Structures are given as C-alpha cells and as structure tokens.
A and B are shown apart, each in its own frame.
Chain A
Amino acid sequence: MLDKIKSNFNTQTWVLIPIAIAINIAVGQIVLVLKLPVFLDSIGTVLVAVLCGPWAGALTGALSNVIWGIAIDPGALPWWPVAAMIGYMAGRMAGWGFFKSWWKVVVTGFVVALTAAIVSTPIAVYLFGGITASGSSFITAYLLQTGQGIWSAVVSTSFLTEPVDKITTAMIAFAIIQGLPKRTIGGYPKANQVATEGGASSTQLYIAIGVVVALVLFAAFMLRNILGG
C-alpha cells in the first residue's frame, strides 16, 4: 500500500503539483470571465491524477481547495474531500486504461462526476443543511419545496450539474496531454497510462463532443421540467 502511494511521487510530481493547483485556480477564473455555466476548476487535478497516479491526484485536489479557501474564497474550504476524491477517481480510471481515447475519457469524466456528486452530498447536508452558497442551490431549494427529502434533493441537483462539468474537464485534460511532446510526459510516474491507442481520431472527438452537447440539452430539459412544472 505505502509503496503504491510512494510510486506516485517523484521529483517531477512534486514540481507539477503546485503548478497544477495554480492551473485549477487560474482556469477557474478564466471560466468566470467567460461566464460559462461550468466550473472547470479541476483540470490541474485531473492532469496530475492521470500522469502521476490516484494518490498524487487526491493530494492535489485536497491542497487545491485548501489554498483556494485560504487565498480566494473561504467557502471552498469544506469541499476538500470532494476535490480529493475527484483526483483519486480520475487516477484510478486512468490506471484501468480509461484515459486512452476520447470515448474512454468521456466515461472517466462521467464516473468522476458521479463520485463527486456522492461525496459532496453529505457535506452539503450536514454542514449547510442542503443549501450552499452556490447557484445550483436554487434547484435544490425548489426540489425541497416540492416535498422531496433533503438527501434526494441534493443528490438530484448534483447529478444534473456535475456530469457536464467533469466530462468537459476530462476532455480538456486529455487534449492537453495529447498536445504535449512525448519527452515532456516521459518523466512522470504513470506516463504509459496516457499512450493513446490507435491515434486519437477526430471522429471520436466529434462523438465525445456530441455526448457533452446531448448531456447539456438533457440537463436543460430536466431543469425546464422541474422549474416549469
């Protein structure tokens, strides 16, 4: 166990982690400037998880939220287990070979999203009574008013909002790794995990983007049903 954890960390990992944390935060802020309805605040975490392993990913996620909480928005602090779990799960999926082509990356993003939704629910319920300061709490609040239980209201909100964000995150991370020279990637502990099989074809990319668009439409449709009904 300890050896497995240690195998995630070499000097390059330790150097990558601070940069990945800064990428998380800087990209999160670019997304705010563009006013897009996603967070994309875990691209760095996914990069570390995929290149170095689940434990390094978990550490990056946790530290990222702690530093975000200290430096920018203290409200981010209690969510560190979610960020850690995102890193861990992304690393595990990559270890199982699910970071080698576009459709596998979509699956990874989806699994990561489900994990994030499950881990964030108890925090939202116990710490904030279900209503956090984030915009998606409007959905939770509405579901609560319609008489749903607090757990199912929080979980359904996360299931609606998380997949689009996490799948996009995973796809951007994959595109970044594709764009890096092999020499740059070679020094990381799990460099072989991201060797693409049979080249990343553009058809696959279109299918992956199609999946994301379909999910966005589905979420929008569900939202309209919930808020209009």
Chain B
Amino acid sequence: MHERLSFHIKRDSFLHSLNPLTKLVLTLALILIAFTFPYYWTPHILVLAAIIPLSLLGKVFREFSVTALRLIIPAAGFLFLMQAFFQPVGTDIIFKFYFLDMTMESVLFAFRNAMRVFVMVSAFTLFLVTTHPSELMSDLTRRGLPGQFAYVIISTLQILPQMQAKAQTIISAQRSRGLDTESSFLKRAGSLIPLIGPLVFGSLVEVEERAIAIEARGFTSKQVKTSLHEVPDTAFDQFLRWALLVFIIISIGLNLWLS
C-alpha cells in the first residue's frame, strides 16, 4: 500500500550529491540546447558528450542503459520511422512504399528529431534516478515554492500507484462477474461505466476526509515551517547553475539570431 512511485536509486556519487535545483537546471539546459542550438549534430553530440558521461558520473550507467533500451530507444525509434516516412520534404527519394516516400532530407530530419527526443527523455530519466522527490520538494519549498505545490506533486506520486492497483482490481472483479471487456465495440464502450464508476466515486469520497486531516496539520498556515532535513547547496552548485544559464541563453540567442 505504501509503495511510492519513484525511480530514485540510492547511490553515493557526485551527481547524487549535487543540489536538486542544480540537477533540474542541468536537465532543462540539456533539453533546451538540444532543441534550440542551430547545429545539426547538437543532440547527437550531447548524448555522447553529456548524457553518457553523466550517467557514469552518477554511477547509474547500468540502470540507465536498461531504461534506454527498453523504453527510450523504442519510443524514439518509432518517432524516427513515422517522421522519415511521412515528412514531405526533399525530392531525393531513396525508398518508396505505397503513397509514402522516404527522402534523404526526411531521414536526416527524422534522425535529428528522434535524437532530440532521446536527449529530452534521458536527461529527465537521469534527473529522476539521482534525485529523491522529497529532497527536490523540500529544497524548492525552502526557496519559496508554495507548500501546496509540493503537496500536490508528492501526494500524486503516492496516490498514482494505489489508483492503478485499484483500477486493476476493479477490472478483474468486474471481469469475474462476467463483464465483457473484449468483444464488440459497443459492448466494450458499455463496459466503460462499470469500470470508471467505482474507481472515481471511491476516490472522490475520500477527498473531504483527507482535507480535514491535512488542515489539522497546519496545511494552510502562513507560518514559516522548519525542516528536519537540510538539503546542502554549495558554492560549486551556484556556479554550475549560472554557467548552465549562460549556455541556455547563448543557445537560444544563436537560434533567434540565425533564423
């Protein structure tokens, strides 16, 4: 019941010891540079020169490669195929299938876009693997993020696995009572109500109780709350954040200047 949705892997590494905000800025910097820097091979270079070294630095290379192979590469590959076939750019047709043409330009275009998506997803994965959600939220709250936002993020991560388990239970229960979930379209559409109903009503009834419970713990109190756990923020962290910010500005600036 108390399982929380989290990818965090506890390790003792340089990447783990960075301040959560620094890692967040690093993630955004990688994504923005991959999408805006006006040089064709930027996302490819970022993967080789930033993403892979960072995963080694965080001592999570093995876990990261497993995720990349299982989730990220199939998704990026699918996007690559869709775009390579469907982008109507270029004239130099290298492959033809029914009404679909694959041209040199569309392949190059698709390759870059797939790599951009790969950078985006893997940067986020690295961030999530090396940062504990509670640590991120307590650091951001200390910097002025309203406590309510922290509550929403953290409690969603807690509720989501419970809700998915509940949905699975309801599906099994209704199936065992003979609910049709795989025959004709109309039958399946009709099954929607007995599946959604119990799930939604059950969880909405809890709302008031939860509201009273957190209200009793000073949820809306304006007083500054003290934290038991201090998240370190070093001078190096601050330097890194400013440096990354400069990179982002240069990249976006070049993009606007050249277009």
Contacts and interface: CB of A to CB of B under 8 A. Distances in A.
A14 B149 CA distance: 8
Nearest to A129: B87
Q: Say whether chain A's binding surface is mostly helix, strand, loop, or mixed.
A: helix
B215 A74 contact: no
B188 A36 contact: yes
Interface residues of A, number: 53
A16 interface: yes
A31 interface: yes
A30 B113 contact: no
Interface stretch (B55-63, B199-207, B244-252): B199-207
Interface residues of B, number: 64
B152 A14 contact: yes
A132 B158 CA distance: 30
A133 B109 contact: no
A11 B72 contact: no
Interface stretch (A83-91, A104-112, A138-146, A192-200): A138-146
Nearest to A11: B211
B159 A30 contact: no
Interface string A15-34: 11111011101110111011
B82 A184 contact: no
Given A23-B200, A128-B113, A15 B156 contact: no
B224 interface: no
Contact of B156 (A63, A140, A184): A63
Contact of A184 (B121, B167, B204, B215): B204
A18 B196 contact: no
A34 B188 contact: yes
B171 interface: yes
B199 A23 contact: yes
Q: Name which of B124, B166, B171, B211 has the most chain A CB atoms within 10 A of its CB.
A: B211
A213 B124 CA distance: 41
B93 to A, nearest CB: 13
Contacts of A40: 192
- In the A-B complex, the 3 residue pairs with the closest CB atoms: A141-B86, A22-B163, A74-B121
Interface of A: 9, 11-12, 14-19, 21-23, 25-27, 29-31, 33-36, 40, 43, 47, 63, 67, 69-71, 73-75, 77, 127-133, 137, 140-142, 144-145, 172, 176, 179-180, 184, 187
Interface of B: 5, 35, 71-72, 75, 78-79, 82-83, 85-88, 99-100, 109, 113, 117, 120-121, 124-125, 128, 148, 151-153, 155-160, 162-164, 166-167, 171, 181-182, 185, 188-189, 191-192, 195-197, 199-201, 203-208, 210-211, 214-215, 219-220
